[in-house]
Structure formats: structure tokens, C-alpha cells
Amino acid sequence: MNPTDAAQFDSNGRLRHLLTLNGLGRARIVAMLDRAAALRETWRDGALQPILAGRTVMNLFFEDSTRTRTSFELAARRLGAAVVNFDIARSSTSKGETLEDTLLTLEAMEADAFIVRHKNNGTPARCAAHARRAAIINAGDGNHAHPTQGLLDLLTIRDHKKDIEGLNVTICGDVRHSRVARSDIAGLAALGAGEIRICGPAPLLPERAEFPRCRIVEDFDTALANCDVVIMLRLQKERMESALGLAEADYFAAYGLTPERLARARKDALVMHPGPMNRGVEIADAVADGSQSVILEQVANGIFVRMAVLAELLGDR
């Protein structure tokens, strides 16, 4: 196991932080999904217990977010924890306080968990190396990992397909810059998915050596044949070093998911997108809002997956 993947376990092999899905293994991922599904049922039955009462969760978002930040806040509150949304822009980081000192300062206020999003790969791991007692949960770092997005995507697929083993999954778009794709691939591979196809224009494809488990297909129509799940990705202009050199209309013509294109996939194929979506660039309205779309189910599942992760890292201690 590489050092970053290993850094999330304590000396007894228990999960202490959640930094990546790599190295978690099938049993632990399935247990986390089962826990999320059980919490969802308990919540809907009105029987949820405040198992994190007296705990404090701090959101440290150095990059913008709608879904992840809000759902972590809802998840923590539903479990009875206090939540602090740390305002980076108005904090003493503007006076030069380091990330490490910021973390230790907030930890001294008895934070039990930090939810960290940052544009640089490895920042949550850096926090984990400095945290004295708090758990660190990666809410997305650069193009490295977005483990709770990976888990909520797996839960959403499992809700519809029962078993992920053997499913053909096509991931289309800006895979090169996507932390979601990396976490999805790690999770899908751990759960025994069939063919995982990566599709997009050459400048947005990763190095082939990074994903030996996947089939890289440049032609979207080919990538869609017989697929059970289509995961569309956002063009991440903020992470591109140079412009794509392809007009949005041309991108949509080649890689946009339209009803005609979707007809190439299996009839019951799921359409997913982590959001935020660029409608008319990556996906047509008729597909995003269509009967095969589970995009809003992904959003709803995000709360339950994040509850499960918080319960696992804080509740059992």
C-alpha cells in the first residue's frame, strides 16, 4: 500500500481518517455502503439517534462547493454534532498563518473532525499528518481523490443494480483532471465492476499507465455500447493548464450525452453526474432530467454516505 493510502489507518489497522478509497478494500467499502443505507432507513423512519452529540465537525473548504459542504453539514447535524463552517476568506490565513497552525488552533478548540477540500493534491493527507486527535475527511483534493463522492456513487448504483460486480461503466469527459473519476474507479474496481471505460478527447485523458484496469476509448459511441452506467464529468477549466482548444459546441457534438447517444447503452443504463453540470456542454437537458438520470439521487445519497463516514470515524471511538 502506498504511504498516502496507508496514512488513513491507525496502528491497529482501523480507519482513522478518510483520504482515499484506494487501499480500503471491498469489505470495508461494502460495510460503509451498508451503514449509509441503514442510516437512510433509520432517518426515514424518524428513528435516528444523535450518536455524535457533543462532537464538533469543522468544514475547511479552500475551494467552493455546493453539494459536499452542505451535505456534510446536514449529515453532522442529523447525527447531533455541532458544525463550524470555517470562513477561510476571513480567517488569519490571510495574515500568513500556515495550514498546520490553522489546523492545530482549531483542534485546540476541540474539533473532532475536519472536512478538508483543497485545490492541491495531498492537502488532506498533510492535515492528517499534523492532526493530534481529530479525524480528517478528504472532501476533494486537486485531481487526487473525492472518496465520499466515490461512495455515494457506488451506493446510488447499488440501489438500482443490486450488485456492482460485472457491470460495464463508462466514465466520460475530463478524466485527466477529475478526482471523482479516480475515486469512482477505485471503488468500482474494489467491488468487481466489469469493464470500466474511460472516454474523452485525448487532452483530457489520463496517462494509460495510471489506470491499467480500465479501457480507454476515444469514441463516445463505442464507449457507450452495452454499458450499464454512464458517469458524465464536468470540464474542469480551473485545473487545465491551457485551453482545451475545442469549442463547447464541438465538445458537445463529440462527447455530449444526448438521448440519441444514450440509446446505444443498455436500455436500463443509469445516467450519473457528480455535479455541478454544464448543461448543453457535457449533457443535454433531456438526459439530465430524463427517466434514466439518477443525478439527484446521488445528491440525496451524499448525506447518508457522509453520515456513515462520520459515524465510522467518530461514533465508534
Which are the contacts of 205, defined by CB distance < 8 A and separation ≥ 6? 175, 176, 198, 216, 218
Q: Is 124 in the site for ligand CP (CB under 6 A)?
A: no
Q: Are strands 270-272 and 56-61 parallel, antiparallel or unpaired?
A: unpaired
Q: Is 278 in the site for ligand CP (CB under 6 A)?
A: no
Among 23, 142, 203, 275, binds ligand CP (CB under 6 A): 275
CA–CA gap between residue 160 and residue 124 (Å, rounded): 32
Q: Is 178 in the site for ligand CP (CB under 6 A)?
A: no
Closer residue to ligand CP (CB): 200 or 274: 274
Locate cell 476571513: which residue? Answer: 90
CA–CA gap between residue 54 and residue 82 (Å, rounded): 7
Which are the contacts of 7, defined by CB distance < 8 A and separation ≥ 6? 17, 19, 125, 128, 129
Q: Is 223 exposed, middle or buried (0-12, 13-18, 19+ CB in 10 A)?
A: buried
Closer residue to ligand CP (CB): 50 or 276: 276
Q: Is 239 in the site for ligand CP (CB under 6 A)?
A: no
Binding window for ligand CP (CB under 6 A); candidates: 130-138, 258-266, 268-276, 303-311: 268-276
Residues 138-167: x where in contact with ligand CP by CB under 6 A, - otherwise, as a string: --x--------x------------------
Among 41, 44, 54, 66, binds ligand CP (CB under 6 A): 66
Closer residue to ligand CP (CB): 148 or 217: 148
178, 233 contact by CB (below 8 A): yes
Strand partners, 116: 60, 138
Closer residue to ligand CP (CB): 107 or 153: 153
Q: Is 236 in the site for ligand CP (CB under 6 A)?
A: no
| DSSP for residue 301 | H
Binding window for ligand CP (CB under 6 A); candidates: 62-70, 122-130, 249-257, 284-292: 62-70
Smallest gap from residue 178 Cβ to ligand CP (A): 10
**Applying CB under 6 A, which residues contact ligand CP?**
65-68, 140, 149, 274-276
